[in-house]
Amino acid sequence: MVYRGKPSTACDRCRGRRLKCDRVRPSCSQCIRAQVDCPGYRDTAELSFRDQSEEVIRKAQAKHRARRSPGTETINQQLDRKAISLDVVLSSPPEELAKGYFFTHFGGGHMPYLLDLTRNQDNAPINAALTAAGLAALSNLRMSPQLMLNARRHYTVALSRTNHALQDTVLARRDETLAAVVLLGMFEIITCSDGSFADRWVKHMDGAAQLIELRGLQQVERSAGLHLFTQLRAQIVLSRIYQERYCSPILAQLTEEAPKYRDPNYRTIDRLGILVIKLSTLCAAVKDGTIQQPTDIIRRSLSLDADFMSTLLAIPPTWAYSTVEVPHSEGGSRMHSVWGTRFHIYRNLTISSAWNNYRSARLVIHELIITAAKSLQHSSNMNTRNEQESLILQSERTCHQIVEDICASVPFHLGATAGDADACGGIAASPTGAGGITVVWPLLIAANSGFASPTLRNWVTDCLDKIGHSLGINQALAVAQLLRNGMRTRSFASVDSSEDLYQCYRDY
Q: Once rounded to an integer, what is the mean pLDDT over residues 23-34?
A: 81
Residue 505 pLDDT grade (very low, low, confident, very high; cuts 50, 70, 90)? low
Greater model confidence, 77 or 23: 23
Domain segments of the chain: what residues? 1-67+78-90, 92-191, 208-282, 293-491
pLDDT for position 358 = 94
- Residues with Cβ < 8 Å from 178, sequence gap 6 or more? 208, 211, 212, 215, 219, 225, 228, 232
pLDDT for position 488 = 60
pLDDT for position 201 = 75
Residue 333 pLDDT grade (very low, low, confident, very high; cuts 50, 70, 90)? very low
Q: Is the pLDDT score of 82 beyond 70?
A: no
Between 253-267, 268-282, 488-502, the lowest mean confidence (pLDDT) is in 488-502
SS3 343: strand
**Among 125, 133, 131, which residue's Cα sits nearest to residue 171?**
125
pLDDT for position 51 = 45
% pLDDT > 90, the chain: 47
Residue 71 pLDDT grade (very low, low, confident, very high; cuts 50, 70, 90)? very low
Q: Is the pLDDT score of 327 beyond 90?
A: no
Q: Is the pLDDT score of 503 beyond 70?
A: no
pLDDT for position 30 = 84
pLDDT for position 118 = 85
Answer yes or no: are the C-beta atoms of 118 and 130 closer than 8 Å. yes
The total of other beta-carbon atoms located within 10 Å of residue 303's CB is 12
- CA dist 211 and 94 (Å) reads 31
pLDDT for position 67 = 45
State the average pLDDT for the chain. 81
Instruction: List, as one string, the DSSP characters of 422-465.
Output: G-SSS------HHHHHHHHHHHHHHHTSS---HHHHHHHHHHHH
Q: Whole-model pTM?
A: 0.77
- CA dist 147 and 195 (Å) reads 23
Phi, psi at 335, each rounded to 5°: -60, 130
Q: What are 168-211's pLDDT values in tens digits? A: 989 999 999 999 999 998 898 899 877 677 777 778 788 889 99
pLDDT for position 331 = 42
Q: What are 423-436's pLDDT values in tens digits? A: 444 444 567 888 89
Task: Please give the angle made by the CA atoms of 227, 232 and 233, to the nearest 5 degrees.
Answer: 100
Between 72-86, 136-150, 156-170, the lowest mean confidence (pLDDT) is in 72-86
Answer yes or no: are the C-beta atoms of 158 and 505 closer than 8 Å. no
Answer yes or no: are the C-beta atoms of 433 and 414 closer than 8 Å. no
Q: What is the DSSP letter of 290?
A: S
Q: What pairing do the DSSP bridges indicate for beta strands 49-50 and 2-3?
A: antiparallel
List 345's β-bridge partners, or say none: 322
Q: How far from 238 is each of 122, 126, 152, 279, 491, CA to CA, in Å?
A: 33, 25, 28, 10, 12
pLDDT for position 15 = 83
Between 24-28, 210-214, 262-266, 417-421, the lowest mean confidence (pLDDT) is in 417-421
Q: Is the pLDDT score of 117 beyond 70?
A: yes
Q: Is the pLDDT score of 68 beyond 80?
A: no
- CA dist 229 and 255 (Å) reads 9
Q: Once rounded to an integer, what is the mean pLDDT over residues 215-237?
A: 93
Residue 23 pLDDT grade (very low, low, confident, very high; cuts 50, 70, 90)? confident
Q: What is the CATH topology of the domain spanning 1-67+78-90? A: CD2-Gal4 (4.10.240)
Q: What are 480-493's pLDDT values in tens digits? A: 998 998 766 554 44
Q: Once rounded to an integer, what is the mean pLDDT over residues 385-396?
A: 90
| Cα Rg of the chain (Å, integer) | 25
Q: Is the pLDDT score of 398 beyond 90?
A: yes
% pLDDT > 70, the chain: 77
Phi, psi at 322, each rounded to 5°: -100, 150
Q: By CB neighbour count within 10 A (0-12 exposed, 13-18 middle, 19+ buried), where does 343 fall?
A: buried
- CA dist 266 and 273 (Å) reads 12
Q: Once rounded to an integer, what is the mean pLDDT over residues 160-174?
A: 91
Phi, psi at 99, each rounded to 5°: -65, -45
Angle, helices 433-447/474-484, rounded to nearest 10 degrees: 20
Q: Rounded to an integer, what is the distance from CA 234 to the centroid of its chain?
A: 9
pLDDT for position 85 = 44
Q: Is the pLDDT score of 221 beyond 90?
A: yes
Q: What are 434-469's pLDDT values in tens digits? A: 889 999 999 999 998 889 999 999 999 999 999 999
Q: How far from 501 is each of 119, 138, 201, 315, 470, CA to CA, in Å?
A: 27, 30, 14, 37, 34
Q: Once rounded to an integer, what is the mean pLDDT over residues 351-359?
A: 94
- CA dist 62 and 330 (Å) reads 42
Greater model confidence, 300 or 62: 300
Query: At 323, which amino acid appears?
Result: T
Q: Rounded to an integer, what is the distance from CA 214 to the centroid of its chain?
A: 24
SS3 35: coil
Answer yes or no: are the C-beta atoms of 126 and 187 closer than 8 Å. no
Q: Once rounded to an integer, what is the mean pLDDT over residues 241-267?
A: 93
Answer yes or no: are the C-beta atoms of 434 and 111 closer than 8 Å. yes
